[in-house]
Amino acid sequence: MKKLLIIDDDNKLLELLKEYFDKNNFECDTAELPSEGLKKISKNHYDLIILDVMLPEMDGFEVCKQIRKQNDVPIVMLTAKGETTDRIVGLEIGADDYVSKPFEPRELLARVNAIIRRNERQYRTDEVIEFKNLRIDCNKRSVIFKNEPLELTSTEYELLLLFAKNNGKVLSRDYMLQNTRGISWQSYDRSIDVLVSRLRTKLSGDSKEDYIKTIHSVGYMFYIDAK
């Protein structure tokens, strides 16, 4: 049974979601305060965390940052309807997905299941992908880039893996969204662009090297030299 943690100060919503996820074969912990949620994360293993943006003590963005300092557990953020800025900021700091309030519980369930399935696929393979300056060990879920470990969130890792398996090929945004999110998204969604930007920054560092090329009106192409 998969284990979730929901951090939200709306007690009624917490009760509703806990009941809904319990009925759908999840073990669900809840926390109304960020401090309470962070304490539970330090003591328990969770397969996924659902995190509201608007919280007392500190906002969801700061909570996400705190989690990412020590844990790459998938995070789905709950944002106010129409707040595109919240969605982009959440993705930039390491969230894996977002759902706008108000939402249908079954939509949230679909997102949660898609992310967990995606993570399980990552751990089932013992494949190792190697290039001249890049080594991806799928079993350990580790990335070595230019002889140094590269720290990635779960979604950044999934995107790099997708790029590596399609080295030198142009990938459309729709294809990338489908293969990193596991569900269909609107064509105007900017999350893939934010994710690519994050990964590009981590790969380039202080250098001027650009391993991810933007193909205007189409998508992106990743290219790295063979071993």
pLDDT in single tens digits along all 227 residues of the chain: 899 999 999 999 999 999 999 999 999 999 999 999 999 999 999 999 999 999 999 999 999 999 988 888 899 999 876 567 777 777 778 888 888 888 999 999 998 998 888 777 655 566 889 998 999 998 788 899 999 999 888 778 889 999 999 999 999 988 887 777 554 444 445 778 888 998 999 998 767 788 999 998 889 999 998 87
166: number of Cβ within 10 Å: 15
* CA triple 153-7-74, angle to 5 deg: 20
Q: Helix and strand tally (H, E) in the chain? A: 8, 12
Residues of the chain with CATH 1.10.10.10: 141-222
Residues of the chain with CATH 3.40.50.2300: 2-120
Looking at the DSSP bridge assignments, the partners of residue 130 are 135
Residue among 2, 16, 32, 217 nearest 120 (CA): 2
Looking at the DSSP bridge assignments, the partners of residue 29 are 5
Q: Which CATH class is domain 2-120?
A: alpha beta
Domain 141-222 has CATH 3.30.60.50: no
Looking only at the bridges linking them, the beta strands covering 48-52 and 75-80 are parallel
Are 130 and 165 in contact by the 8 Å Cβ rule? The answer is: no
Are 77 and 90 in contact by the 8 Å Cβ rule? The answer is: yes
127 phi/psi in degrees, rounded to 5? -65, 140
Query: pTM for the complete prediction?
Result: 0.69
